Amino acid sequence: MFGPGIWRMKRFADSVPEIIDLQREINRLFSNVGQSTALDYPTINVWEKDNSLVVTTEMPGMDTENINISVTGSTLTISGTSKADPIKEGETYLRQEREQGNFQRNVQLPFQVDSKAIEAKYERGILKITLPRQKEDLPKKIKINL
């Protein structure tokens, strides 16, 4: 009475909500293709070293006067303005991929930092920010009383 075809339809019908969810996720992933977002620039690396957080970012050709670094609460903000490379009369860009204009990047810090001891260095197009952890925020050994 019931052939194998009816069972296949039942399994497909059960998977329709999952297919709709997958389609929604694919649409979300590709909705911003080709558009730059604030998260794209500058790219960063973050790691922990000696009770400090180290953040590096590539900023080729930037003047340090055009870079702003601030820490508010547990958020590091790197912002500024990047300018286009000057081209001479008669020259034309064939490809221009480096970002230009205003930028801002916010990084959520995993712990409280000592804002008075933050160091920033800019060398060979790499900005390196060292954010020492607050002494009060360091893990403390708890003695167990008997």
The residue ranking higher by pLDDT, 111 or 29, is 111
Of the candidates 119, 39, 108, 47, the residue with the CA atom closest to the CA atom of residue 72: 108
pLDDT of 64: 92
pTM of the predicted model as reported, rounded to 2 decimal places? 0.65
**Bigger pLDDT: 138 or 6?**
138
| Residue 55 three-state SS | strand
**∠123-127-128 over CA atoms, to 5°?**
100
Q: Read off the pLDDT of residues 10-60 as tens digits, 9 standing for 90 and up.
A: 566 677 778 888 888 887 777 766 555 544 578 899 999 988 999 999 998
State the CATH architecture for 44-85+100-137.
Answer: Sandwich (2.60)
pLDDT of residue 10: 58
- Specify the long-range contacts of residues 132-141, CB closer than 8 Å, at least 24 apart: 132/51, 132/52, 133/51, 133/52, 133/53, 136/112, 137/111, 137/112, 138/51
Q: Which helix (H) or strand (E) holds 138?
A: none
Q: What is the pLDDT of residue 75?
A: 93
* Spatial contact of 2 and 18, defined as CB atoms under 8 Å apart: no
Residue intervals in the chain for CATH 2.60.40.790:
44-85+100-137
